[in-house]
Amino acid sequence: MATISAAQSGTFRLGGRYNVNRLGYGSMQLTGPGVWGDPKDPDEAVRVLQRAVGLGVNLIDTADSYGPFVAEQLIAKALSPYQADLVIATKAGFTRAGPGDWRPVGRPEYLRQQTELSLRHLGLERIPLQQLHRIDPKVPLADQLGEFKLLRDEGKIDLIGLSEVSVEDLVAAQEIVEISSVQNLYNVANRESEAVLEACEAEGIAFIPWFPLATGALAESGGPLAAVANKHGVAPSQLALAWLLHRSPVMLPIPGTSSVAHVEENIAAAGITMTRDEVDEITRLVG
């Protein structure tokens, strides 16, 4: 019976420029409750980032609105000066009014301001991947992505990505500027973005699933993944990440955590080997 190792999937060439290991790290959990303010243990946050990179992660995802700016500043503190192959992906397009409060703002001058602030907080001369955190329905898409295109032409950002979009949004965006990544909610239990994933795969665009573990719901010991996980001697959360890596070669999961132990556990998921039948069984079990 054929077996597949998530580790064998190796790297993905993001935007034709950056070779990234397909299991990355998402920094949203490095902030306080409601993705607001400083973390309870800033020193542990620094250790988490350093351990992730030490284990081979070279794609770190963040956003200006995480904190706001707390996650970006922690990344700079932990990892700057950056190793040559480290790719920092950030986002702009939300403003915050407090814990759990997210408001899309796509005015070109705001996107420029936030990008400039991200450059400063991250300590970068150019952002490798800048993503539109949400499309603002009050602002023409051409104006929002047009500002990113100007920033790219000025050398302040390199690649451009989207977040939480439909296939139609992606098609419209590609008519304005080259899109290198899409970040949508997606995990083994929530596949509402299946059509977007398939569109990305057809175009060779990176698909970055946020909420890859459904905040622990898939990691429960008695959950639907438990039996297969026990067979492999791994945690259900690790199996869920391995399933994502097997689902598509353009998939770049970015599990986040504020714990060094969980970082180590998540990254170990890249080495899980499953048969194709097991991959299909998980798809059926949770589908």
Task: Tell me which residue of 255, 264, 269, 275 sits closest to 29, measured CA to CA.
Answer: 255
What does the pLDDT read at residue 282? 86
Q: Is 73 in contact with 30 (CB distance < 8 Å)?
A: no
Does residue 154 belong to any structural domain of this protein? yes
Per the structure, the count of domains in the chain is: 1
Provide the domain limits for residue 179. 11-217+250-255
The answer to whether position 108 is within a domain reads yes
- At a CB cut-off of 8 Å and minimum separation 6, what does 36 contact? 67, 96, 98, 99, 100
- 281 domain-assigned: no
Neighbours of 287 (CB within 10 A): 9
- In the chain, DSSP finds a helix count (H) and a strand count (E) of 10, 13
Q: What is the average per-residue pLDDT within 6-14?
A: 73
Check which CATH number belongs to the domain holding 173 and give it.
Answer: 3.20.20.100
Q: What is the per-residue pLDDT for 276?
A: 85
Mean pLDDT of 44-57: 97
| Contact call for residues 280 and 219 (beta carbons, < 8 A) | no
Across the chain, what does the average pLDDT equal?
Answer: 93
State pLDDT tens for residues 143-168.
999 999 999 999 999 999 999 999 99
Of the candidates 18, 25, 66, 186, the residue annotated as catalytic is 66
pTM for the whole structure: 0.94
Query: Is position 269 within any domain?
Result: no
Answer yes or no: is 53 within a domain.
yes
Q: What is the pLDDT of residues 185-194, one digit of tens each?
A: 999 989 999 9
Residue 110 falls in the annotated catalytic set: no
Q: Is residue 165 part of a domain?
A: yes
Position 130 in a domain: yes
